[in-house]
């Protein structure tokens, strides 16, 4: 096994740990220390690319001699923990803060990067949604909005690494991006991938389950079989990183959601009765709470036809 493969496999294992297990593991590496370990995980997947988790969506980052790239920012109270960890690694400037989409658990922490980052980048619909939600919540002054947007593809170099953003259409929202660290061959999916966790489907921001399935298919065709994916969220005990097979299983799950919902509508179920569903055929490993989220979205999407 080569070094990069070993490091990535180690990341897969660490990403599957619960927060409690991470704390125990941290304590093992601080013998004699009575201080509690921090409530976050900062882990290098390769020499340059790593992940940060604390609360909210998974953050990815690139450390390069020419500068840093950060993907997503969580919350105003967690983003400073990431920034502190990055400063321990390097004094290079943050070139880009990239937002996978507009939701607060991925962008509310943008404000912590004010004065530290050169550019904030997102899909044009992501910026539109972030601004709309902030205005509705009367907290636009607490946002650091993207100053660079794109419609289909965006690409930039930081050192030897090429960072590409791709938009394949409406899915979780109408502004979700895949972020590809091309040389390292690692893709951050944002919330286009919920690993074994029932997804939030934001129809208020243009989400579409049927097209989400197509978006996942486009991704597995665009990226190769060796690509490692970083997921926006994972269920307790499951990995925040994985492979194309995980995207295929999630796609199958979404197809099962629509198939089951359509069958229940045809059978004459009321929405109230339908939303009492606790499981359905084909849901596979997607169990636990939150099942009402995709079922509600599927019902509303199919009934809107």
42 DSSP β-pair partners: 52
pLDDT at 38: 86
Please state the domain extents for the chain: 3-243
Backbone angles phi, psi at 162, to 5 degrees: -100, 125
Query: What's the chain's length in residues?
Result: 305
Tokens (6 digits) for 298: 């599927």
CA–CA separation, 301 vs 62, rounded Å?
38
Contacts of 135 (CB under 8 A, 6+ apart): none
pLDDT at 35: 62
Tokens (6 digits) for 272: 């109230």
**Helix, strand, coil % in the chain, rounded to nearest 5:** 40, 20, 40
163 DSSP β-pair partners: 156, 181
Q: Cβ(211)–Cβ(170) under 8 Å?
A: yes
CATH superfamily of 3-243: Ribonuclease Z/Hydroxyacylglutathione hydrolase-like (3.60.15.10)
Q: What are the angstrom distances between the C-alpha of 29 and each of 13, 22, 232?
A: 17, 11, 27
Tokens (6 digits) for 119: 């550019």
Query: CA 75 from chain center: how many Å?
Result: 14
Q: pTM for this structure?
A: 0.89
Q: Cβ(119)–Cβ(147) under 8 Å?
A: yes
CA–CA separation, 227 vs 180, rounded Å?
9
pLDDT along the chain (305 residues), means of 10: 39 43 40 68 97 97 98 98 97 98 98 98 98 97 97 97 98 98 98 98 98 98 97 95 98 98 98 97 93 98 91
CB atoms within 10 A of CB 8: 18
DSSP state of 113: G
pLDDT at 37: 77
- What residue spans of 98-208 are helical by DSSP H? 104-107, 124-136
161 DSSP β-pair partners: 158
How far the first Cα of the chain sits from its last, in Å, is 51
């Amino acid at each position: 096994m080569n070094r990069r493969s070993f490091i990535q496999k180690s990341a897969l294992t660490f990403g599957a740990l619960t927060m409690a297990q991470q704390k125990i593991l941290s304590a093992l590496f601080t013998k004699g220390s009575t201080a509690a370990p921090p409530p976050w995980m900062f882990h290098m997947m390769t020499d340059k690319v790593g992940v940060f988790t604390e609360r909210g969506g998974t953050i990815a980052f690139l450390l390069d001699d020419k500068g840093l790239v950060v993907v997503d920012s969580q919350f105003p109270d967690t983003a400073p923990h990431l920034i502190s960890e990055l400063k321990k690694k390097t004094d290079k400037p943050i070139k880009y803060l990239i937002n996978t989409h507009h939701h607060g658990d991925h962008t509310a922490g943008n404000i912590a990067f004010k004065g530290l980052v050169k550019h904030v980048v997102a899909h044009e619909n992501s910026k539109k949604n972030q601004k709309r939600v902030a205005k509705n919540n009367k907290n636009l002054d607490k946002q650091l909005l993207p100053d660079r947007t794109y419609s289909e593809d965006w690409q930039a170099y930081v050192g030897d690494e090429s960072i590409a953003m791709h938009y394949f259409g409406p899915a979780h929202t109408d502004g979700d991006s895949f972020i590809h660290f091309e040389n390292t061959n690692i893709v951050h999916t944002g919330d286009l991938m919920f690993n074994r966790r029932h997804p939030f489907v934001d129809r208020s921001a243009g989400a579409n389950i049927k097209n989400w399935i197509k978006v996942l298919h486009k991704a597995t065709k665009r990226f190769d079989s060796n690509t490692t994916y970083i997921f926006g969220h994972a269920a307790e005990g499951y990995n925040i990183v994985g492979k194309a097979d995980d995207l295929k299983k999630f796609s199958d799950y979404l197809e099962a959601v629509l198939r089951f919902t359509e069958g229940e509508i045809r059978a004459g179920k009321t929405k109230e009765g339908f939303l009492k569903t606790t499981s359905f055929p084909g849901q596979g490993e997607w169990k636990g709470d939150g099942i009402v989220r995709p079922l509600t979205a599927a019902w509303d999407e199919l009934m809107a036809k």
